[in-house]
Chain A
Amino acid sequence: MVEIDLSGLSCPGPVIKTKELLDSKDPVRIVVKVDNTASKENVSRFLESRGYNVCVEMEGSKFCVVGTKGSGSEKSVRQERTEARVPEKRIIVMITSRTIGHGDEKLGASLMVNFVKTLKEILPNLWKVILLNEGVKLTVEGSECLPELQELSNSGVQILVCGTCLSYYNLINEKKVGETTNMLDVVTSLATADSVININ
């Protein structure tokens, strides 16, 4: 069991210290003492996000946040989000269609899914994915590309989705991944990229 007294610290201090402790020791049971309600709530939320069962006890004027893991529980329920980064060689993939190429619609759609899936292979250099025109339809519920795009986003790739296009197709509320963007962002991104792969 690990115990740590973080009285005197205010947010986000207690969460940072608790995180450091979990990252280095990964204890089965942890007791974190704090002296204000915001820290009590935040440390509770943090421990829960790492797969602990949490209860809070009072000790004088201090809160003892007690976290316990069931035996054999997996390391953490949430993978930590990777930092969005600027790769050394900045590649942008610009997608302006729902399908790849002009021919059979079904074939084109499955090629697109395969393409987006395979982008993982250039992940170290993949900087941004820009979605324009019908490309924005890849970001809505039901699109087979959506989980792949979400995975890229979680790996730190910026997904820029054209706002004008979402608005045109009436999908502003449906977009499930990425950042709504404007033409200025698109143009400046393209201008600063080392290489642009254009899919239409």
Chain B
Amino acid sequence: MELPSDPNLIVGLERADDAGVYLINEELAIIQTVDFFTPVVDDPYYFGQIAAANALSDVYAMGGVPKTAMNLVGFPIRQMDISVLKEILRGGIEKLKEAGAVLVGGHSVEDNELKYGLAVTGFVHPKKVLTKRNLRPGDLFILTKPLGTGIATTAIKAGLASHSLINMVTRSMAALNKGSAEVMALFEVHACTDITGFGFLGHLAEMVVGASYGVEIWAQRVPVFDGIEEMANMGLVPAGAYRNRDFRKEMVEFDTSVPRYLQDILFDPQTSGGLLICVSQAHGEALLEGLHRKALYDSRIVGRVLGDRVEKIFVRLEP
């Protein structure tokens, strides 16, 4: 399909990135993104928060600041009480306030299945746009939220998740990537993305495709929610994780020491996951310390860019 072209479109569809970026002038570009989905938790207020945090995340991953947002709603008005929708929207607005963005409108349709999300517009300086490209050998990868939300939501559906797991995962999914983005802006960051449906390795693969380098990941260092190992071993792995794995199997090589449950977790589709930041080797530790100082304690250095193994991801347990 031939797409309309415009020289001011800095980041478009030609390479899967987190959002589109359009140049307004030398000082300003806008970031546009949209995301919506069906409920991942039972509580409508938290579902609203999670959907908003998820939609806003793409702007943070591109190095921008969200400014305006519009609600997208599919609602089964005949089967469900309108108070549910009010709670969802309340959760969404809460997160917009926290992000410093305003709600400028929205659109709702009747739908058999409940859906909620937002279209978000953000600002960024054209020279500070972060994409999935631009990895350099020696760079370190930092992940800012634990993995396992897909396995956890599968366990919730199966009625096998503990309250503490549900609370922990809900809180994490509802957390904005704002704090991590603010810290990241102070350091020499080369590339960034956020972890969502393709899972950690799926999104990492998008950064590695077309690069002249490879990547090494230290599975034991990757943050994972408590209790997820057991859920994965029990077979509460969402089908999406297996699809993610099969889609990227040519690119990813696991050392034999990496247990199967960890491989599952690394491909587990995430909702409102953390930022995956590619930072210069010299700034890696300082960025991590900055994140921890901002109470983003789950952040970890999880791997590095290699000079060889072009377009491959090698996963071992430890460095």
Residues on A lying within 8 angstroms of B by beta carbon are 10-12, 15-16, 36-39, 41-46, 48-49, 78, 81-86, 153, 156, 158, 163-164, 166-167, 172-173, 177-180, 182
Contacts and interface: CB of A to CB of B under 8 A. Distances in A.
A42 B163 contact: no
Contacts of B292: 163, 167, 172
A10 B239 contact: yes
Contacts of B232: 45
B105 interface: no
Interface residues of B, number: 33
Interface in B118-169: 154-155, 157-160, 162-165, 168
A133 to B, nearest CB: 16
A81 B235 contact: no
B164 A84 contact: yes
Most buried by B among A11, A156, A182: A11
Contact of A38 (B237, B298, B300): B237
B226 A42 contact: no
Contact of A84 (B159, B163, B241, B243): B163
B236 interface: yes
Nearest to B300: A173
25 contacts: A11-B236, A11-B239, A12-B154, A15-B158, A15-B234, A41-B235, A41-B242, A42-B235, A42-B236, A43-B235, A44-B235, A46-B235, A48-B233, A49-B235, A83-B162, A84-B162, A85-B163, A158-B164, A163-B297, A167-B297, A173-B221, A177-B226, A179-B164, A179-B226, A180-B297
A159 B298 CA distance: 16
B24 interface: no
Interface of B: 154-155, 157-160, 162-165, 168, 221, 226-227, 230, 232-239, 241-243, 260, 292-293, 295, 297-298, 300
Contacts of B221: 173
Contacts of A43: 235
A82 B160 CA distance: 10
Contacts of A15: 158, 234-236
Contacts of B234: 15, 45-46, 49
A41 B237 contact: yes
A84 B227 CA distance: 11
Nearest to A50: B234
Nearest to B227: A81
Contacts of B226: 153, 177-179
Q: Considering the complex of A and B, which 7 residue pairs feature the smallest CB-CB distances, nearest first?
A: A42-B235, A38-B239, A45-B235, A46-B235, A84-B164, A163-B297, A12-B158
- Interface residues of chain B: helix, strand, loop or mixed (majority): helix
A179 B293 CA distance: 17
Contact of B237 (A45, A78, A82): A45
Nearest to B243: A38
B17 to A, nearest CB: 28
A140 to B, nearest CB: 15
A78 B234 CA distance: 10
A139 to B, nearest CB: 11
B146 to A, nearest CB: 10
A191 B159 CA distance: 29
A11 B234 CA distance: 12
Nearest to A16: B158
B158 A45 contact: no
A88 to B, nearest CB: 15
A192 B247 CA distance: 47
A11 B297 contact: no
Most buried by B among A82, A83, A178: A83
A144 B309 CA distance: 43
Contacts of A173: 221, 300
Nearest to A185: B171
Nearest to A11: B239
A11 B298 contact: no
A157 to B, nearest CB: 9
B295 A163 contact: yes
Nearest to B289: A167
Contacts of A44: 235
Contacts of B230: 78, 81
A186 to B, nearest CB: 12
Contacts of B154: 11-12
Contacts of B237: 11, 38, 41-42, 45
A163 to B, nearest CB: 4
A11 B157 CA distance: 9
A180 B298 contact: yes
Contact of A45 (B162, B233, B293): B233
Given A15-B158, A78-B230, A180-B297, A83 B163 contact: yes
A80 to B, nearest CB: 9
B105 to A, nearest CB: 33
